[in-house]
Structure 1
């Protein structure tokens, strides 16, 4: 009983939800504009967050009205692979039920914003009509499995795709609640779910769980930021196996120095036939030993930090009944997204830069409209990337030329028309939709990048490929802690500046300055960039320069004493 009292409130909500049912079905029919706190937590497992328009909060409160509640819906699209019909369904739903925009996330999927409670079921059902689910988009479970979006072809890549989809199926929630609530499926006794939900049990995982895959040498998916990273090794046309790294995670609490981002650590090598069993063993260890009392420390990265890789491996081997092979040595050549024209034989793919992942029409750039036109006319495949961009696949050379012309006529620039720092920038949505945001991000970063572009040009550094990422809070959804320059919101209008990560995503950055006003972000960086220009070694990236010189030394040189 004493142990039960220590569990976090959300652990009790999960246990009492009857395998993710809660009272969602009843709430959908009660005529109210929003859900209860208990149902809000359960809804996350179904791919839905309740939000409100924070731009309107103050005025509505003044007028004595309730908040303008709305729902964010996040799909589960393994590897970000879509066909034209699926893309067009999201496009249609964003106009019919959402706020008219689609948001590509860093988890390689779509979010729809602004959906009212009364339209929630119709929206989720329509997503399922094109064979995409939202179950697993959020919540304390394995979320959308992400990976390299390059449209590779050949037996090796097909085999990796099959392995990943089999893994996704194995670690997906088995509860019937989703079909009952959203698809009018037959009601099932929750006791049936108890027998089938063998991986998660009735309380699922202590916190969210993320899996990513990569091909050896290409870290475009930032695999080290995940709970499990899978690196595929090639043996001719076959998959030799996968090296697993475990224990990554970006979130931290700015006021709690015990919390921090961590990169995944090498764990083992597995052949394809053992991949699912080993991943399930790792997940089950987090299920059984992860912190269910304090959610700030509930991610698997803290369990790995506390117990260590040797313990984790020993426990996995005990559950599996066999010894694990040592991980293979990994070498990374790039972490850049796959943008621009990609030619493969008689096929052409176009990687488009989508600023902060937001697909919308705005004055001078009809991005959403022209993509809809392209989908309807040419029926390309679509790959969403973990850097919030989009690749149109399987075009002929003639079609690619026509698509490029249509994009240009709509005011949409090709990736080669942007500066390197622009295409390497990312921001989370933050205000006005995210309930966790304490500062601007998506709406602020374009101006910061524009100022940074001017500064780099003044310094003769305009061709330097520096990664810049911004978030509206310390949770790190845009992975700012593995950017060469990270901006993390602390309060309205002020940010921490973090420096020193490397370009291939294998080193985190560190705090350089705290609580810097938005208008002072680039001026604060200017002397460092100038020093980088004057003092860098041949071929040295900005993050590597900051690490070599040392953050403390840079602070001594450039941070004024208060």
Structure 2
């Protein structure tokens, strides 16, 4: 396996004094130290400085405030109700029973709203006080979990799909995802010094891979095992599609340049599907991920922060130029793409037996939020559970590696605790995602998670009017255009524009291989349903057998692709 590390080519970037202020801050932060430690001990405020707030993102921590109380506190001349979101680094989303039990315990002590499973297979604690940050991170370290690089301009937590019918391959893919995560992890000692009070090392900490300014923006990598596209592979900066021949992992098709975020106020802002570029051997995945990330490090825009994501770098320098850079740094050409087929981008809910005779069960968690009664139910269940846990990119919990002799015990326990119904949610609940949005996310313009239950009830009522209640339609709701719940891949998506108002996107694919198109702007929830009603009416009468809603809209020309990035990736 290749172990070479790509040297940093700092001369390619713009001069530091011409770069974005974030780049200058990183350069003078002493490899992410800043004055975070001093700010944590400042008892005069519940927050930290703006600059340190940017640096703590690299430590997996966002400074936020309770926006429900912001105006009231302003009137009373009080500072905002500062609190922190803490995101764990869990490559591939796998946890032991003991880790879950401790995470549950810590959330009850330090989090204001339970546990939240994210769309990148990890966990967030919300509403953590400044004085609680260090004891929380020290406690997490004792169970082998940290938060380094869960946020920030670096390689974020790596997501990894699962295929119960290819469990041996799934384990290999997971191992490669973990190896890639470790390879691309920042090496600075700032994290341990800040949170664990580790004394500074004798030598200056440096970043042999990232350098002093790290990446221009966040970078996301994912591994998927066809035919399930349960991580939305085409939304990743770098995606690896497993190729299986005769039950053996032979390698990966590599995709580059995916990304969901956009700004509605800029015409040069857009979501993008990743582009398949070639095939590699399985053992090359960690190294080529590093190579591609270093190209983004060296060629990404460090002046216009909005245009700094890899998708824009790829479109700016061109696919052919990128491939030449890739071959030069990787040391060999990629082989031609191998055939693959993706059938859906949801989770397999319910019970599934793997090829090695173990069992897997998926519990649906609406919007990934675990609090109140549900948290108590899960706490009681995991006390007696003997298997492992996997968080999914669709915000659910999978119970994995259940031996055959335990399956009836597990089923009985789920039933006794009122959890069994989560194995068989309604078809619409199973394909609905939402982001956190208000009141904690500083970017949110409208509600998402908090309005999902009520909107979903109205949405289901509308489907019933047209006898569509058994037809799953991918629905995603976000509080802003940034795309944390991957709305631009949904058959129907609402992205927040202002309190109570949303842009309506239509026509994504249930396979996750086609972008949705903007249909109407600035609609209330009622207006969204009014806009959908005539389309549901036509879909109920004119659809082909087993035709999905997004495919129907395109076949009947209700949706027209506006650019090449909006085209469906053909099944290969």
Instruction: Give the TM-score of the pair, scaled to structure 1.
Output: 0.93
CA offsets per residue over residues 405-457 of structure 1, 9 Å max, x none? Answer: 55445444524543211110000000001011010000112111111111111
Does residue 76 (structure 1) correspond to residue 86 (structure 2)? The answer is no
Separation of aligned partners in 1, 2:541 and 2:417: 41
Q: Is the counterpart of residue 26 in structure 1 residue 33 in structure 2?
A: no
CA 1:155 to 1:347, structure 2 compared with 1: closer, same or farther past 3 Å? closer
Instruction: Tell me if structure 2 keeps the 8 A contact 1:267–1:309.
Output: no
Match of 1:520 among 517, 527, 530: 527
**CA displacement 1:132-177 (0-9 Å, x = unmatched):** 1100110000000001145667543332222222111111111111
Quote the Cα distance in structure 1 between the aligned partners of 2:204 and 2:335. 37
SS in 2 for 1:368: helix
8 Å CA contact 1:502, 1:508 repeated in 2:
yes
Distance, in Å, in 2 between the alignment partners of 1:284 and 1:323 is 17
Matched, 1:89 2:102: yes
Q: Which runs of 5 or more structure 2 residues have no equivalent in the other structure?
A: 1-12, 562-572
2:548 and 2:542 map into 1 onto residues whose CA distance is 11
Q: How far apart, CA to CA, are the structure 1 residues paired with 2:197 and 2:505? A: 48
* Distance in 1 of aligned mates of 2:525 and 2:314: 36
- Counterpart CA distance in 1 for 2:294 and 2:547 is 42
Q: Is the 8 A contact 2:494 2:505 kept in 1?
A: yes
Q: Is 1:220 aligned to 2:250, yes or no?
A: no
- Hey, what does 1:280 align to over in structure 2? 290
Partner of 2:260: 250
Cross-structure match for 1:443 = 450
Shift of 1:303: 1.1
For residues 438 and 308 of structure 1, do their structure 2 counterparts lie closer, same or farther at Cα, with a shift above 3 Å needed? same
Deviation at 1:535, TM superposition (A): 1.8
Q: Structure 2 CA distance, aligned partners of 1:233 and 1:2?
A: 39
Q: Which runs of 5+ in 1 are unaligned?
A: 555-562
CA distance in 2, matches of 1:175, 1:372: 36
Distance in 2 between residues matched to 1:199 and 1:296, nearest whole Å: 23
Post-superposition CA distance 1:358-392 (Å, at most 9, x none): 0112xxxx211111111111233111000000112
Partner of 2:476: helix, strand, or coil? strand
In the aligned structure 1, how far is the partner of 2:366 from the partner of 2:331?
Answer: 48
Does structure 1 residue 479 correspond to structure 2 residue 490?
no
The counterpart of 2:315, out of the listed 298, 305, 329, is: 305
Moved more, 215-224 or 205-214: 215-224
* Cα separation, 1, equivalents of 2:537 and 2:159: 37
1:45 pairs with 2:58: yes
TM-fit CA distance, 1:399: 4.7
Q: Which residue of 1 aligns with 2:306?
A: 296
**Contact persistence 2:160–2:174 (CA under 8 A):** no
2:10 corresponds to? none
What is the match of residue 365 of structure 2?
Answer: 354
- The question of 1:145 aligning with 2:155 is answered no
Q: Does 2:334 match 1:334? A: no
Range 324-333 or range 14-23, more displaced:
324-333
The count of aligned residue pairs is 547
| Contact 2:164 2:353 survives alignment (8 Å) | no
- CA spacing shift, 1:404–1:433, aligned 2, 3 Å: farther
Aligned-partner SS, 1:505:
coil
- Aligned to 2:147, the other structure's residue is in SS state coil
Structure 1 pair 124–553 and aligned structure 2 pair: CA distance change class (3 A): closer
Q: Equivalent residue for 1:8?
A: 20
Structure 1 counterpart SS, 2:152: coil
- Report the secondary structure of 1:513's partner residue: strand
User: Cα distance 1:533–1:425, how it changes in 2: closer, same or farther (>3 A)?
Assistant: same
Distance 2:175 2:429 in 1: 34
Is this contact kept in 2: 1:74–1:137, CA < 8 A? yes
Residue 255 (structure 1) shift: 1.2
Q: Does 1:17 align with 2:29?
A: yes
Q: For residue 254 of structure 2, give the secondary structure of its aligned residue in structure 1.
A: strand
Structure 2 partner of 1:498: 505
CA 1:408/1:454 → structure 2, altered by over 3 Å: closer, same or farther?
farther
Q: Is the 8 A contact 2:65 2:80 kept in 1?
A: yes
DSSP-derived class of the 1:393 partner: strand
**What SS does structure 1 have at the residue aligned with 2:241?**
strand
Counterpart in 1 of 2:392?
A: 385
Scaled by the length of structure 2, the TM-score of the pair is: 0.92
Asked whether 1:112 is paired with 2:132, we answer: no
Partner of 1:331, secondary structure, is: coil
Cα RMSD, aligned residues only: 2.0
Is the 1:471–1:487 Cα contact (8 Å) retained in structure 2?
yes
- Confirm or deny that 1:368 pairs with 2:375: yes
